[in-house]
Chains A and B, each alone.
Chain A
Amino acid sequence: MRIILVGCGKIGVALLSALVAEGHDLVAMDNRQEVLDDLTNQFDVMCVNGNGADCEALQDAGVERSDLVIAVTGSDELNMLMCYLSKRMGAAHTIARIRNPQYHDKSLSFLRQQLDLSMSINPELLTAQELLHILKLPAASKIETFSRRNFEMIELRLKADSPLVGQKLMNLRDRFKAKFLICVVQRDSEVVIPRGDFILQGGDRIGLTADRTELWKLLKATGLAKRQAKNVMLIGGSRIAFYLSKMLLSSGSNVILIESDRAICHRFTDAMPGVSAFCGDGTHQELLQESGLSDQDAFVSLTGMDEENLLLAYHARLQHVSQVIAKINRDEMVRMAEQMGLESVVSPKDVVVNVVLRYARALESSKGSSIENLYQLMDGKAEALEFIVCSAADFTHVPLKDLRLKKNILIAGILRDRKAIIPSGSDVILPGDRVVVIAGHRRLNALSDILL
Chain B
Amino acid sequence: MNRKMVFYTIGRILLLEGAVLALPLAVSVYYWDGGQLPLLLTIALSLGLGLLFIKVFRPDSQVIYAREGFLITALAWVIVSALGALPFVLSGEIPCFVDAFFETVSGFTTTGASILTDVEVMSRSMLFWRSFTHWIGGMGVLVLMVAVMPNLSGRTIHILRAEMPGPTMGKLSPKLGDTAKLLYLLYIALTVLEFLLLVAGGMPLFDSAVHTFGTAGTGGFGIKADSLAGYSPYLQWVIAVFMMLFGINFNLFFLLIMRRFRAAFRSEELWTYVGIVLVATGLICWNIRPLFPSFSESLRHAFFQVTTISSTTGYSTANFDTWPTLSRMLLVLLMFIGACAGSTAGGLKVSRLVLLFKTFRREIRHLLHPRAVTSVRFEGRPVDSSTLISVSTYFAIYVGLFVAFWFLLSFQPGFDGVSNFTAVAACYNNIGPGLNLVGPAASYAGYSPVCKVLLSFAMLFGRLEIYPMLISLSPGIWRKN
Chain B residues with CB below 8 A from A2, complex form: 174
Contact at A41–B174, with CB atoms within 8 Å?
A: no
Contact at A41–B173, with CB atoms within 8 Å?
A: no
Chain A residues with CB below 8 A from B177, complex form: 44
Chain B residues with CB below 8 A from A44, complex form: 151, 153-157, 174-177
Q: Which residues B131-156 have CB closer than 8 A to chain A?
A: 151, 153-156
A157 nearest CB across to chain B (Å): 29
Chain A residues with CB below 8 A from B155, complex form: 41-42, 44
Q: Is B158 an interface residue (CB 8 A)?
A: yes
Chain A residues with CB below 8 A from B156, complex form: 44
Contact at B157–A46, with CB atoms within 8 Å?
A: no
B280 nearest CB across to chain A (Å): 34
Chain A residues with CB below 8 A from B176, complex form: 44
Chain B residues with CB below 8 A from A27, complex form: 174
Q: What CA separation (Å) do A76 and B273 show in the bound complex?
A: 45
Q: Which residues B242-261 have CB closer than 8 A to chain A?
A: none
Q: Which residues A15-55 have CB closer than 8 A to chain B?
A: 20, 25-27, 33, 40-47
Task: Give per-residue flags for A154-191: 1 if the beta carbon is below 8 A from chain B beta carbons, else 0.
Answer: 00000000000000000000000000000000000000
Q: Which of B66, B154, B178, B384 contacts A43 (CB 8 A)?
A: B154
Q: Is B266 an interface residue (CB 8 A)?
A: no
Contact at B174–A42, with CB atoms within 8 Å?
A: no
Q: Which residues B368-400 have CB closer than 8 A to chain A?
A: 384
Chain B residues with CB below 8 A from A33, complex form: 384
B1 nearest CB across to chain A (Å): 16
> Which residue, of A20, A25, A46, A47, has the highest number of chain B Cβ atoms within 10 A?
A46
Q: Is B365 an interface residue (CB 8 A)?
A: no
Contact at B384–A25, with CB atoms within 8 Å?
A: no
Contact at A25–B154, with CB atoms within 8 Å?
A: no
Contact at B154–A42, with CB atoms within 8 Å?
A: yes
Contact at B154–A46, with CB atoms within 8 Å?
A: no
Q: What CA separation (Å) do A111 and B151 show in the bound complex?
A: 42
Q: Classify the interface of chain B: helix, strand, loop or mixed.
A: loop
> How many of chain A's residues touch chain B, expressed as a range?
10 to 19
- Nearest neighbor of B177 in chain A, beta-carbon distance: A44
Contact at B157–A41, with CB atoms within 8 Å?
A: yes
Q: Is B58 an interface residue (CB 8 A)?
A: no
Q: Is B224 an interface residue (CB 8 A)?
A: no
Chain B residues with CB below 8 A from A26, complex form: 174
> How many of chain B's residues touch chain A, expressed as a range?
10 to 19
Chain A residues with CB below 8 A from B66, complex form: 41
Q: What CA separation (Å) do A25 and B154 show in the bound complex?
A: 12
Contact at A25–B173, with CB atoms within 8 Å?
A: yes
- Nearest neighbor of A3 in chain B, beta-carbon distance: B174
Chain B residues with CB below 8 A from A45, complex form: 154, 174
- Nearest neighbor of A49 in chain B, beta-carbon distance: B381
Chain B residues with CB below 8 A from A43, complex form: 154
Q: Is B171 an interface residue (CB 8 A)?
A: yes
Chain B residues with CB below 8 A from A40, complex form: 157
Q: What CA separation (Å) do A40 and B155 show in the bound complex?
A: 8
B176 nearest CB across to chain A (Å): 5
Q: Which of A20, A25, A41 contacts B158 (CB 8 A)?
A: A41
- Nearest neighbor of B176 in chain A, beta-carbon distance: A44
Q: What CA separation (Å) do A2 and B173 show in the bound complex?
A: 10
Q: Which of A42, A46, A47 contacts B173 (CB 8 A)?
A: A46
Q: What CA separation (Å) do A48 and B116 show in the bound complex?
A: 48
- Nearest neighbor of A20 in chain B, beta-carbon distance: B154
Given that A33-B384, A46-B171 are known contacts, is A25 also in contact with B178, CB under 8 Å in the complex?
yes
Chain B residues with CB below 8 A from A25, complex form: 173-175, 178
- Nearest neighbor of B156 in chain A, beta-carbon distance: A44
A42 nearest CB across to chain B (Å): 6
Q: Which residues A42-83 have CB closer than 8 A to chain B?
A: 42-47
Chain A residues with CB below 8 A from B171, complex form: 46-47
Task: Give per-residue flags for B158-178: 1 if the beta carbon is below 8 A from chain A beta carbons, else 0.
Answer: 100000000000010111111
Q: What CA separation (Å) do A27 and B153 show in the bound complex?
A: 17
A39 nearest CB across to chain B (Å): 10
Chain A residues with CB below 8 A from B154, complex form: 20, 42-45
Q: What CA separation (Å) do A9 and B303 show in the bound complex?
A: 52
B170 nearest CB across to chain A (Å): 9
Task: Give per-residue flags for B165-208: 1 if the beta carbon is below 8 A from chain A beta carbons, else 0.
Answer: 00000010111111000000000000000000000000000000
B141 nearest CB across to chain A (Å): 20
Chain A residues with CB below 8 A from B151, complex form: 44
- Nearest neighbor of A56 in chain B, beta-carbon distance: B263
> Which residue, of A2, A20, A45, has the highest number of chain B Cβ atoms within 10 A?
A45
Chain A residues with CB below 8 A from B158, complex form: 41
> Which residue, of B154, B158, B384, has the highest number of chain A Cβ atoms within 10 A?
B154
Chain B residues with CB below 8 A from A41, complex form: 65-66, 155, 157-158
Q: What CA separation (Å) do A47 and B65 show in the bound complex?
A: 18
Chain A residues with CB below 8 A from B153, complex form: 44
Chain A residues with CB below 8 A from B65, complex form: 41
Q: What CA separation (Å) do A439 and B308 show in the bound complex?
A: 59
Contact at B174–A46, with CB atoms within 8 Å?
A: yes
Q: Which residues B261-309 have CB closer than 8 A to chain A?
A: none
Chain B residues with CB below 8 A from A47, complex form: 171
B residues adjacent to A (C-beta < 8 A): 65-66, 151, 153-158, 171, 173-178, 384
12 A-B pairs besides A2-B174, A25-B174, A45-B174 with CB distance below 8 A are A20-B154, A25-B173, A41-B66, A41-B157, A41-B158, A42-B155, A43-B154, A44-B153, A44-B155, A44-B175, A45-B154, A46-B173
Nearest 7 CB-CB pairings of A with B: A25-B174, A44-B154, A46-B174, A46-B171, A43-B154, A44-B176, A26-B174
A residues adjacent to B (C-beta < 8 A): 2, 20, 25-27, 33, 40-47
Offer 30 A-B interface pairs, CB within 8 angstroms, sorted by A. A2-B174, A20-B154, A25-B173, A25-B174, A25-B175, A26-B174, A27-B174, A33-B384, A40-B157, A41-B65, A41-B66, A41-B155, A41-B158, A42-B154, A42-B155, A43-B154, A44-B151, A44-B153, A44-B154, A44-B156, A44-B157, A44-B174, A44-B175, A44-B176, A45-B154, A45-B174, A46-B171, A46-B173, A46-B174, A47-B171
